[in-house]
Structure 1
């Protein structure tokens, strides 16, 4: 292949944006409101968990880390999309595109592993409650969170380095709202088999493995709950897991559709809108699900509000 044909573009043009100024204005307004709600909701959870003594437990330690990941994930993509929509330009520098890909893969991967750790936490709490404080001590919880970040950082680094080596032959038009693995593979003019192998190799660690951990944890939880003689105990056990299970289903279904299905089945024009929806939906719903459906959080909020009322 001629080396001159392997030039790297200075910038990428994101084709997923509409040319309609009216549509762009409406979408930018919707995204801005959604981002502000997502940002404030998750920051409030982080702050509230850190200052409320009754929430100083492993479950809420994981929840605050999940909220931090949601803030990071949405900040990686949504503000840039809003700027593109408002300014009317849909160009992104090559270096920024690569950085966006790295951080997006990092945060999504870390969230997948963290959700598995949260499922294990619920398993120990319900199936082995007498040993919960011993097993889920602060050191072990911190190790689980650290392992999630380190494993996802390694995964993101590998995918980013493999993407950097791809020949693009001057092609700079991406039919997507932001930079991700699949749209960059789609415009490569070289062999992408190494990238595909890396994605397949990472799926057991970053997707299938954590997903199986969640599945097995909840199978044991359900079996244990069904053996309870007290209806109040069953109701309490299910209520403590309902929030987490809802978040898990939202995250894994969207992530599997976005990253783990065969590359040959990708349709960038359709997937770009689904990916945008996924990057908005889960981080927005997480704080709502955990506050509206969680009894501990609602009781702590009520106590805080009662203290402030003279």
Structure 2
């Protein structure tokens, strides 16, 4: 039986994150919290994929990365019988292995009563200068359309009404255009609402917006991964677009779907970011009335190009700019 993490358990499975230094710190904290409660502790995900020092945490019975997270469930009985033995899975992400999110045959409490996430791809082929994701998640592997349809249909039968198509880099899905997935879900009986996870602005095309506007189920909300509104910073970040292209995409959305709510991710305090660079992001949020902003202070990740860049912004200034952006977005 699956229980809440706050309850006593025989086996704690901790799916870790390492996208920022803070998420890595919290992952280590949760691992130690589970160890203090007793029971068997299994650690999987990005933090264990990235940081070899996880092997130094005494008491962890199972360590796996991102290649096959489901392996821990197949070994659950063995882990419980031999909790003093440490098991380690392959961390190789170079093969065709795909970490799927499949709901199985029984209703699950992982999702809410009406909303379910369907993973359509894993990995990322991008080379953004600040991002550790390609290293810990591997290259893009997309899920076949037929498999996505099958899972959405099973979810509909189980009573789920809302589907969120998501992935590590949802926009990189390459078995079919995302517009085709909109049309497909539109035709699945029982599903009433459709959303996507975070999208690149490059995803916003005439075809995508036509499918979204014509859909009976597409919810009027798009979340975009923008990161900055300064051309200079976007170039240093190696983002695959510039400010002019961002503006064009925003205007396309506002013209085709004027009731669309747009939220976005931004990184604050990237190395060498000036006050002028920062104010360009503030002005962009204001100009397009973003409904919500996820603001993150720059966090250097080991092995990335940005980690060795000069011109780091002092921690106090990072915090200040992050708070200003968040507060400003709330008042737009």
**TM tier relative to shorter chain:** under 0.3
Taking structure 1 as the reference length, what is the TM-score of the superposition? 0.24
Higher helix share goes to which structure? 1
Return the structure number with greater relative CO, CA threshold 8 A, min gap 6: 1
Taking structure 2 as the reference length, what is the TM-score of the superposition? 0.23
